[in-house]
């Protein structure tokens, strides 16, 4: 981590430690990983903005069905391009130390494709289709049935969409969420 250290001052690291769930060493480690995506660019400017295609080369993101959503949610310019700080923010939320509520908040945004602050029927369909991958297609009526089941279980106020409170309720009751919604640095 020798060369990583030279790019950050002690104050900057302290700053990152205060604002994220990482320790200083972990921040440096994250920067190494970020640098590996585009060595020259990041070598010049440690907080360089990488285009979404570059970010998506990160191993865990490469195969993730929600990769473009993840990038968009964490990108500060909202177009999927991420600076190192955005990347650090992303990793911090996905890290083990982040509490369930924070993870739930971001998961909600990732699943909220149309950005109306509700996970509606179209969002649910999209999630299910992406989960099953490109090789397998559920029939329309099957997806319909699944969506209906999800809403029956979770839509407490019966408005045909999941608000954040309802979504958080599901997450609270799921023991597997913290295990699955996690990317190790």
Partner 1 sequence: MEDDIEVDPRPASARRTLMRNGAARQVAVNFMPSRQLTCNTLRIRRNNSEHNALLDDVMDAAAAGSGAGDKVDAADRQADIIVREMEQHQRLMEDSPDAEELRREALRELPEGLTMKRHVRAKLSASVSLRSKRRPLSCTKRLKYRLSFAWKRTKDRLRDMIFSIELWYEAIRNIEGHFGSAVGSYFYLVRWMFALNVALATMLVAFVVVPQALHDRHMNTTLSDHRGFLDFIGGTGWLEDSLLFYGHYHHDDTSPGRLRYHMPFAYFFTLLCVYLVMFAVLCYRTAYSYRRNFIETAGGLSHVFASKVFCGWDFGIVSHHAAALTANSIYNEFKELLSEQYKKKSSRGWCARAGRLARDALVWAALLALLGAVLYGLWLLLGLTTTIHHYHLLVSAAITAVLTVCPLVFHLAAKLESYSSRTVLYVTLGRTWLLDAATLVLLLVYWARSNEQCWETRFGQEAYRLVLMDAVISLVVLPIVEFVRALVYKLNPNTSPPEFNIAYNSLTLIYNQTVVWFGMVFAPLVVVAVVVKLLVLFYVKRECAMRACQPARKVWRAAQTQTVLYMLITLSLFVALFSLGTTFLGSESRCGAFSSYSSVVGVLTVGALRLHEREAARRVLAFLLRPGFIAFLLLFLSVSVYYVRARARAQASVVRILRRMLLLQAKDKDFLLDAIAKVSNGEWLYSPKAAHEEGPDSHTWKYLREVRKPSNSGFHLEGPRANHSLLEGRPRSYAKDSRPTSRYKEGTARDDGDTDSSFSWQGSAHGVNQ
Site residues for partner 1, 4-63, by CB under 8 A, read: 15-21, 23-26, 29, 59-60, 62-63
Note whether 79 binds partner 1 by CB under 8 A: no
The DSSP 8-state label assigned to residue 50 in this structure reads: B
Closer to partner 1 by CB, 6 or 141: give it.
141
Least distance CB 52 / partner 1 (angstroms): 16
Q: Say which residues have a Cβ less than 8 Å from residue 82's Cβ, sequence separation at least 6.
A: 49, 50, 52, 55, 71, 74, 75, 76, 90
Give the residue with the Cβ less far from partner 1, 51 or 117.
Answer: 117
Cα 70 to Cα 64: distance, rounded to the nearest angstrom: 9
Instruction: Select 8 or 40, whichever has its Cβ closest to partner 1.
Output: 8
Least distance to partner 1 from the beta carbon of 68, Å? 14
Residue of 17, 40, 44 lying closest to 28 (CA atoms): 17
Q: What are phi and psi of 97, to 5 degrees?
A: -80, -20
Q: Is 147 in the site for partner 1 (CB under 8 A)?
A: yes
Between CA 1 and CA 28 the distance in angstroms is 7
Question: Site residues for partner 1, window 99-138 (CB under 8 A)?
Answer: 99, 101-102, 105-107, 109, 111, 114, 116-117, 120-122, 124-125, 127-128, 131-133, 135-136, 138
Distance CA 158, CA 109 (A): 21
* Smaller CB separation from partner 1, 40 or 53: 53
Stretch in the footprint of partner 1 (CB under 8 A) among 3-11, 33-41, 49-57, 142-150: 142-150
Residues with Cβ within 8 Å of 30's Cβ and at least 6 positions away in sequence, in order, are 22, 87, 88, 91, 185
Q: What is the Cα gyration radius of the chain? A: 18
Residue 40 or 63 having the CB closest to partner 1: 63
Min. distance of Cβ 133 from partner 1 in angstroms? 3
Residue 156 CB, nearest distance to partner 1 (Å)?
5
């Amino acid at each position: 981590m020798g060369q990583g250290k030279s790019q950050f001052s002690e104050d900057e690291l302290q700053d990152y430690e205060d604002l994220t769930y990482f320790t200083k060493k972990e921040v440096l480690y994250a920067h190494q990983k970020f640098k590996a995506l585009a060595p020259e660019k990041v070598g010049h400017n440690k907080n360089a903005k990488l285009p979404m295609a570059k970010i998506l080369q990160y191993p865990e993101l490469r195969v993730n069905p929600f990769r473009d959503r993840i990038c968009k949610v964490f990108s500060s310019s909202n177009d999927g391009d991420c600076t190192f700080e955005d990347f650090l923010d992303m990793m911090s939320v996905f890290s083990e130390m982040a509490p369930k509520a924070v993870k739930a908040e971001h998961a909600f945004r990732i699943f909220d494709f149309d950005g109306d602050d509700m996970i509606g029927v179209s969002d649910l369909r999209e999630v299910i289709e992406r989960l099953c991958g490109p090789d397998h297609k559920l029939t329309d009526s099957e997806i319909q049935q699944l969506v209906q089941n999800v809403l029956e279980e979770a839509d407490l106020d019966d408005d045909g969409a999941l608000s954040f409170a309802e979504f958080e309720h599901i997450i609270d009751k799921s023991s597997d969420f913290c295990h699955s919604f996690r990317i190790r640095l």
